[in-house]
Structure 1
Amino acid sequence: MSTTPTSSPRTVPCPPSPAGCGAPAGASCTSHGGTRERHNFHRARTAALEAARIAAVPAAKLVADTGAWVRHGKHAADLLDKNGFTVEAEQLRRAVSEANGHMSAKQAIAFLVDQAQGGEG
């Protein structure tokens, strides 16, 4: 079973003000100084969830932390191959090929996270 956080921002705490409201994990975000429960989440909380999902997958974290030179899925696959993630690199190359070469590094990271969660990609 995967240890990657689920897809709900509620599973991570909301960052403190001014970016968020500081709601703990499991609680709803609030607005108006904590007097009203929000029906959605602060952007910072959604970003924190995405960062947690990426951090839980070493191959995706490597690509995300590398920097601006990795701009394409092919570059991400080459980086993974050079750093010992040969299985992930081959899966990513196959996905880039199936997408007719149209895959950004951001899409490659999302693909790697989805694969780690047992998704089809």
Structure 2
Amino acid sequence: MDLTPNDWQRANLPPLAVVCPDCGSAAGQLCASHGGTRARNSQVRRGRTAVWEQARIDGNPAVRLILDAAKARRGMHGKHAAELLDAHGHTAEADRIRRAISERNGLLSAKQAAALLLDEAEGGESR
């Protein structure tokens, strides 16, 4: 199956799903550069990526819980993230993090645990 340029952009530039706060490009359209005279062809603005990333986080309560706690606590381990999730009723996510900790010989930070949950929720790799 051949991908059209628009299909390729959507697959490789997921932040296109949101409106760019910097240049005002609509969702699905590339960011503008050179004062709005040309569309960027291979990247989006940092502001758009930040908005997209925040939307991903806000859409997943377990990830949001971990990242909010990690902001307040430096050096938070994945084990602590799993305990926090368990305490707030996210037992399936807590079990997944515990398995990942075991698979990685104890080497998993809370932020890595949050990224793992996000990737798996969006159909990414799962180990």
TM range (shorter): 0.7 to 0.9
Fraction of identical pairs, as percent: 54
Matching residue of 2:64: 61
Alignment-mate amino acid for residue 68 of structure 2: D
Please identify which structure carries the higher helix content.
2
Give the structure, 1 or 2, with the largest relative contact order (CA under 8 Å, sep 6 or more): 1
Secondary structure at 2:92 match in 1? helix
Matching residue of 1:112: 117
TM-score with structure 2 setting the length:
0.79
Matching residue of 1:22: 24
TM-score with structure 1 setting the length:
0.82
Q: Which has the larger radius of gyration?
A: 2
Are 1:43 and 2:49 an aligned pair?
no
Measure how far apart 1:118 and its partner are. 3.6
Q: 1:77 aligns with which of 72, 75, 82?
A: 82
Mapping 1:95-110, distance limit 5 Å: 95-110=100-115
Q: Note the residue ranges of structure 1 that are not aligned, 5 or more in a row.
A: 1-5
- The alignment of Structure 1 onto Structure 2 pairs a total of residues equal to 112
Alignment-mate amino acid for residue 61 of structure 1: R
Whole-angstrom CA distance in 2 between matches of 1:108 and 1:82: 16
Q: Give the alignment's Cα RMSD to 1 decimal.
A: 1.8
Secondary structure at 1:26 match in 2? coil
Whole-angstrom CA distance in 1 between matches of 2:45 and 2:77: 29
